[in-house]
Amino acid sequence: MNNNMSTTTDYIGATDYDTLVPKLKELICIHDDLLIRAEASRKLRFAEIDIEECRSKGTVAPDELVIPQHIIDTNIRTEQPAYVKYVTQSNRAVICQDESDSSIDLSILEQDLTKKLRQDGWQLQAYSNIDSFQAHGYSVIEVVYDENAPGHTNEEHIQYEDFAFIADTKDLQAVEMTSRKYYFTRTKLASLAGDGLEDFNRECVDKIIQQEPTADSITSVSAKDASLFKIYKNMFRVGGVVMVAWSMPDTLDKWLRIPRPLYVGRRKPRPVQSVLDQLKSKAKSLMTGRPDTIPDSETQYPYTLYPYTISEDSTIGNLHGRTFLDQDVQEAITSIVSSLVTKVRRSSGLYFAREDGDPNASILMDKNIAFKNGAIFNGKIKEMKLDAPDALLFSAVQILKSDNKSETSQVNWAENNRQGDSRKTAAAIKSSAQKEQELTTVQVVLYSLALRNQYQYRTDIIKSRVAAGLITVNPQLQQMYASQFIVKPSGDTDVIERSQIIQTMSQVWPVIANTPLASVFFIDLIKLMFPNSAARYAAVLQQAMQQQQAQAQSQQAQQMQQLQQVAQQGASGVEMLNRHPEVWSDTGKVFAKPAIQEAAHKIKQQQEQMKQQGQQNGQQR
C-alpha cells in the first residue's frame, strides 16, 4: 500500500474517502510510532524503579539499591523560568506598531488585544507547550474558533503523540496532510451525532460506540480501564484551501464528518457581481447594522510549530529535546550513585570467617550463620571488612552534573553548584551572574519567533471580525483595527530588551551614583526592575528627595539670615565709627578714617536704594 502511495498522485486535490484512506492509515502508523517515543521519553524523564520487583526477579541483589536520578526533569525545570518569565511577566500580550508611522501610539489597541488573546486559563496551554518542546524537541499549538472567547479565537496545545505528519517534513505549512488525535467518551460522541455535514455522521457514531474503547497508552492504562475512543481530525489542501475532515479508518469505511473548508472565524466582504447583489448587500447591512460579510476559508494550517533548538538539519522529526540530550548522563549518574550507595552500605556491614588453616575444614560447615550479641562461637573466627568507596567518586558525580549543565548553557547554575568552594572565585561567580541575563535572551529567541507567528495569525482573524461588526469595540479602536499594523510578543521589549538595559544600567551605576544624574537614573532603574511597584517606590524616593531639598533650603535660608545679621551689625558699627570721630586716634584719623567714611557712604546709598525699591513695590501692589 505504501509503495502505491509513493507513486500515485490520485490523492492530490481529492476529498473522496477511498482515495485518501491510505494516507489516513499511514498517519495513524505515525501516531503509533510517536506514542512509543513519547512513552519511552516519559519513562526516562520520570524514572521509577520497583526495587522489590527487581529483587524478586534477581536483577538486583538483596543488599543492593538503585537510586534513579532525574537529570532530564531537573534540566527541563531549570530552563522553564526563562520561558515562563518571557510569556507572563508583561501585563500586555503584544506590542503593536503601525506599518506606515511607527510613532503612532497604539497602547490602547495593545490593551484591547491582550484581553482578546489572553482568555481565562491561557497560562495552562502556554506552560504545557513549553514543557512539551523542552522534553520532545518540538511542540504544536492549534488556533481554533471559539465564540465564547473574547476574541472569538482560542489556542490549544497538542500532545506530542497526538499530532502526526510525514517524518521528513521540513515546513509544517508545506505538509500534504496532518492528523490530530482526539479522545471522546460514548456520551460525548452521541451528543455530536448529526447529519455528517456540521456534525458527525449518526450512523458512524452508532457503529463506534457499539465497540469497546482501546487503551491508547502502552503502559499507564490497562484495557479494562479504557473509556475513550480515538478520533482523528485530518487537514489537507484542495485548490489551495485547507479542508478539514474527521475519520476513524480502523473502524469506519467512510468519513465521520465529510471534508469542508476550514473556518476559524475569519471574515471577508461578500463579493458583489451585479447591481442587484450590491443592493442586496446594502439592504442586509442596514437590517443587521453591520457590514455584509461571509466566512473566509483558510489557506494556511492553523498550527504553529515551537522548536526547542535549531540546527543545519531543518527536518522537524530530527529535532531533539532534553530527553534525548540528557538520557546518557542520567543513566551514568544513576549507575554511579547506586553503586556508591550500595558499596557504602556493604562497607559498613560485619563479615566473619572461620580462622582455620585446614583447607577441608569448611566441609559440612553450616553456611549463612547469623551472628548475635552474647552468643558463644565454637571455634576461632575473624572479622572481614570491605573497603569504602573512594571519596573522589562522589566528586565525579558532581563533575558529570556540572558538565551537563554547561552543555545545556546553564553556566551560572554549574558555577554555583560545582564541588569545592575553594575552586570558586569572586570573578567566576560575578561572571556567572552576568551570564544569567544573556542565557535568558538566548533561550527564548526561537520561542519568541513562533509566538509572534501565532499572535499575528490570531490578530488577523480578530481584525476581520471587528471589521465585520461581530466583535464590538469603540470608534477609536475600530479605526486602529482598520489600520495596517504588525504585532510582536511583548516579551521582546518587556523582558529581553529590559533585561539587557537593566544589566547595562547596573554596570554603569557606580559611575553615575556620584553625579547630579543619580536620582533620575536610579528611579528609571527601579521602574525597569520592579514595574509593578515602581510607582510606589518612586513616590517614596521623590518625597524623601523633596524633604532633603526642603531641609537644605531651610538651612541655606538660616545661614543667609545669619549672614545678613552679621552684615547689619557690621554696617551699624561702621556708621557709629563714622559719627564719632573723637574716638579715633591721630593715626586712625590718617589711615582708617577715609575708608570708614567711604564705607559708611556706600551703606547709606544702599539703604536709600532699598527704601526706594520697597516704596515702588508697595505702589505696584
Q: What is the DSSP string of 157-225?
A: EE-GGGEE--TT-S-GGG-SEEEEEEEE-HHHHHHHEEBSSSSEEHHHHHHHHTSPP----SSS--GGG
Of 241, 276, 296, which residue sits at a domain end?
A: 296
Same domain, 280 and 228: no
Cβ atoms within 10 A of the Cβ of 322, count?
A: 27
Same domain, 180 and 258: yes
Same domain, 224 and 272: no
Residue 38, domain member (yes or no): yes
> Residue 331: CB partners within 8 Å, gap ≥ 6?
none
Of 262, 279, 306, which residue sits at a domain end?
A: 262
Same domain, 182 and 256: yes
DSSP for residue 423:
G
Count of structural domains, the chain: 3
Cβ atoms within 10 A of the Cβ of 3, count?
A: 7
Same domain, 191 and 258: yes
Same domain, 247 and 271: no
Residue 199, domain member (yes or no): yes
Same domain, 258 and 270: no
> Residue 323: CB partners within 8 Å, gap ≥ 6?
41, 44, 45, 72, 135, 136
Residue 558, domain member (yes or no): yes
pLDDT tens digits for range 130-164: 999 999 999 999 999 999 999 999 999 999 999 99
CA–CA gap between residue 537 and residue 574 (Å, rounded): 55
DSSP for residue 583:
G
Residue 427, domain member (yes or no): no
Q: Give 10-residue mean pLDDT values along the chain (621 residues).
A: 55 92 95 94 88 81 83 90 86 90 88 92 93 95 95 95 94 95 94 88 94 69 77 96 96 95 94 78 79 92 94 90 91 86 79 65 58 65 72 72 63 45 46 47 80 95 94 93 92 69 82 84 78 74 76 74 69 71 69 71 73 66 57
CA–CA gap between residue 479 and residue 464 (Å, rounded): 13
Residue 578, domain member (yes or no): yes
Same domain, 246 and 219: yes
Same domain, 209 and 236: yes
Same domain, 237 and 274: no
Same domain, 236 and 274: no
pTM over 0.85: no
Pairing outcome for strands 257-261 and 163-164: unpaired
The whole-number pLDDT of residue 482 equals 93
Determine the residue type at 240: G
Residue 433, domain member (yes or no): no
The whole-number pLDDT of residue 439 equals 43
Domain that holds residue 560: 550-620
CA–CA gap between residue 177 and residue 237 (Å, rounded): 8
The whole-number pLDDT of residue 67 equals 83
The answer to whether 460 and 466 have CB atoms below 8 angstroms apart is no
Residue 420, domain member (yes or no): no
Residue 382, domain member (yes or no): no
3-class SS letters over 28-82: HHHHHHHHHHHHHHHHHHCCCCCHHHHHHHCCCCCCCCCCCCCHHHHHHHHHHHH
Residue listed under C-alpha cell 511577566: 89
Pairing outcome for strands 200-201 and 193-194: parallel
Residue listed under C-alpha cell 495569525: 457
Same domain, 269 and 258: no
Closest CA relative to residue 142, chosen from 133, 129, 151: 129
CA–CA gap between residue 322 and residue 22 (Å, rounded): 34
CA–CA gap between residue 244 and residue 221 (Å, rounded): 30
pLDDT tens digits for range 303-341: 999 999 888 888 999 999 999 999 988 898 888 888 888
Determine the residue type at 251: T
CA–CA gap between residue 411 and residue 398 (Å, rounded): 14
